[in-house]
A and B are shown apart, each in its own frame.
Chain A
Amino acid sequence: MKVLIVDDEAPARERLRGLLDELDHCVVCGEAATGQEALAGAEQQQPDVLLMDIRMPGMDGLEAARHLLALEQPPAVIFTTAYSDYAIKAFEAHAVDYLLKPVRRERLAEALKNARRLTRVQAAALQSAGDGPAVRQSICVRVRGGLQLVTVSDIRYFHADQKYVTVCTPDTQVLLEETLKSLEQEFADRFIRIHRNALVATQHLAGLDRHADGHFLVRLQGVDTQLEVSRRHLADVRRCIKALPG
C-alpha cells in the first residue's frame, strides 16, 4: 500500500513516517507540505492513501481533498488533526476517517486497513463544516488527463457558452465542468454577475464604457476582452465600480 504524507509541519511528517515504517504492507511514497504539493504528489506517485493534515497554509486539507476527486483514480483520504471540536463532529457525521494527533500506532493501522475513497458529497459537506465557508482558493480543472489549478484571485471572469463555462485569467482560458450559478453562489463576495452568461471579478474591474449602439461594456485589468453588461445588472455593476478604491 502506497501512502502519501501531507502535513505542513516537519516533525508531524517525520512521526507519521516513523510509524508507517513499522507497519507491514505500507510504503511511504512521498511527503507534501501543502495542498498544492499533495495534488502534484498524488498525480505523480499514484498513492493508495493520503494521510492529510486539515490545517495547512495556502490550500488546506479539505480543499485539497475536493480537488483530488477530479483525478481519474482518486486515492483514499484519511485526515489528521490536532484539535478541532466542530470538525470532528462533522467527520463523524459524514463517516470520513480521521486521526487525532499524536496518532496512535494501532489506530493508524486500523484506519489504513479500512481506508475508503472519499465521495464528492462528503468532501463538500466537510468543507462547509470546516474552518470557513466552502469557498475554494483555487479551481481545479482537468487538462489532458492531468490536473491544473487556477488561483481564484487570478481569475478575471467566468463566461458561459451553451454547455460549458470558460474560466479566464491573463494567462489561460480553460473549460470547467461547473455551472455559472454554483460559481456565483460560492464566490458571491468576489465576483459579480454582469450578464446572463458572465461573472466578473470585482477586484479586477477597470471601468465601464458605453458603446455606440447603447450597450455597456466592462473593462478588466490584465485582459483585452470587453464583456457586455445587461440592462438588468447595470446598476449593480455601477455601484461596484464606484465602491472600488481609487
Chain B
Amino acid sequence: MNTDRILRAAGSEREDAFFLPSFCDGWLMFAVVVITELLAIVIALVSPGFAADPWGHLGLISLYMQWIALTSAVVLCVVRPWLLRLSNMAAGLICYLIVLLVTAFVSETAYWLKLTSSGVLYITTEDHAVFLLRSLTIGTVISAVVLRYLFLQHQWRLQLEAETRSRIEALQARIRPHFLFNSMNTIAALTRSRSAMAEEAIQDLSDLFRASLSQSHDRSNLDEELTLARRYLHIEALRLGARLTVEWEMDTLPRDVRVPPLILQPLLENAIYHGIEPLPEGGSIRVSGRIDGGQVVIDISNPVGNQGVAEHHNGTRIAQANINQRLQLAFGRQAGLTSLQEHGYYQVTIRFPEERVS
C-alpha cells in the first residue's frame, strides 16, 4: 500500500510535467467540438461550393471534421496513460502521428462511404489520391498548430507556478535582526540572575524561529498563530517591562480559522517598534478580532507619540506590503491590509475570508 502511494505520488508529479491535457475530461471534449466547428465554418466559407447549398455544405464538412477530431481525442484519451511514460518530445511526436493516422483512416472511410460523391467535399470519384492528400495536409497543419499551442500553454502554466512559488518564498515572514539581537541581550542578562526566565525566553525564541524558517506554510490556524504571537510578546515583555501592555479581544473568533503563519507577529513587532518603544512611559497594544460578513477582521492598534508617524517609515511600509501580498496569495483579492492614523493611535486592519482548517 505504501509503494502504491509512492507510485501514485510519482505519477502525479509526472502528470504536472506532462504537456498533453487529458482528453477524457468533459470540458476539454466540449472545447474540441467547439473549436472544430469554428474551423469547419471557416473551411466551408472559403470553399467554392458554399454559395449553392450553404447549410448542406457546412453540415457535411462539420460531420467530416468532427469525426476526425473526436476520434483523435478519444484515441489520445485512451493512450494518454501510456504516453505519460515517455518524454514530452516523444509523446508529442506520437500524438502527431496518431492524429495523422486518424485523419487518413477517416478520409479513406469517408471516400468509400461516398460522402464525397455529392461534390460537397469538392472532389469527384476519380480524385481519390488528391482527396486523401488534401485531408492529410490540412490535418498536418492544424494538428501541428494545436499541439504547439498545448505545449506553449503548458510551459506558461509551469512558469506561472514557479513564479508564484518563488514569490511566496520571498515573502515568507522573516524575524527582524534587531529583535534577534535585543532578545539575545535580554537572555544574556537573565542567565546571570533568573535562569528559569532565560530558559523560557530561549524556548519562545526557538518556537518563533521554527515558524519563521518552516517551509510548509499553508495550513495553520488562528490558534497556532495566537500562540506564536504570545511567545513573541512574552519575549518583548521581558525587555520592555511595565512599558508594554497588550489587550486581547479575540474571544469571538473561532480558533480553527485558517491564517497564514506569522501574519500577526510582524504587525505586533511594528506596533512595538514604532508605537511603544518611542514612548518613555510605554503604552498598550490592542488586538481585537471579529467576523464581519463571512470575513475574519483583525485590528491591531497602538498609540503613537507626536513624532511617530509610523506610516511614513520605510520598514513599516515594506512589512505591510509583504503581509498584504501574503494574504492575497493565500486568499485572493478579497483579503488585504489597511491602516489609518487618528487621535494619536495607529491602527492596522487585516481581513480575509473565513475558512476552517482542522
Contact = CB atoms under 8 A, between A and B. Distances in A.
A137 B182 CA distance: 25
B278 A82 contact: no
A163 B192 CA distance: 56
A100 B186 CA distance: 13
A11 B280 contact: no
Contact of A102 (B184, B241, B307): B184
Interface stretch (A12-20, A110-118, A228-236): A12-20
A137 B185 contact: no
A11 B277 contact: no
Nearest to A36: B280
B193 A101 contact: no
A128 interface: no
Given A82-B178, A83-B180, A137-B307, A101 B278 contact: no
A9 interface: yes
Contacts of A100: 181
B253 to A, nearest CB: 32
Interface string B186-212: 111110110000000000000000000
A55 interface: yes
Contacts of B60: none
Nearest to A35: B280
A241 to B, nearest CB: 21
B116 to A, nearest CB: 80
A9 B238 CA distance: 9
Interface residues of B, number: 25
Given A9-B186, A15-B189, A18-B189, A55 B180 contact: no
Given A9-B240, A82-B181, A153-B306, A102 B188 contact: yes
B280 A34 contact: yes
Nearest to B201: A11
Give the size range of A's interface with the partner: 20 to 34
Contacts of A222: none
Nearest to A16: B189
B239 interface: yes
B185 A82 contact: yes
Interface string B302-318: 00011100000000000
B335 to A, nearest CB: 32
Contacts of A14: 189, 192-193
B41 interface: no
Given A11-B189, A57-B278, A57-B280, A83 B178 contact: yes
Nearest to B191: A15
Interface string A1-41: 00000001111101100100000000000000110000000
B189 A83 contact: no
A72 B155 CA distance: 74
Contacts of A12: 185-186, 189, 239
Nearest to A11: B189
Contacts of A58: 278, 280
A15 B188 contact: yes
A8 B188 CA distance: 16
B26 interface: no
Interface of A: 8-12, 14-15, 18, 33-34, 55, 57-58, 82-84, 100-103, 137, 153
11 contacts: A9-B186, A11-B239, A14-B192, A15-B188, A15-B192, A82-B182, A83-B180, A84-B178, A101-B182, A101-B184, A102-B184
Q: Which 7 A-B pairs have the closest CB atoms?
A: A15-B189, A11-B189, A82-B181, A102-B188, A101-B185, A57-B280, A83-B181
Given A101-B181, A101-B184, 16 more contacts: A9-B182, A9-B186, A9-B239, A11-B189, A12-B189, A15-B192, A55-B277, A57-B277, A57-B305, A58-B280, A82-B178, A83-B177, A100-B181, A101-B185, A102-B181, A103-B185
Interface of B: 177-178, 180-182, 184-190, 192-193, 238-241, 277-280, 305-307
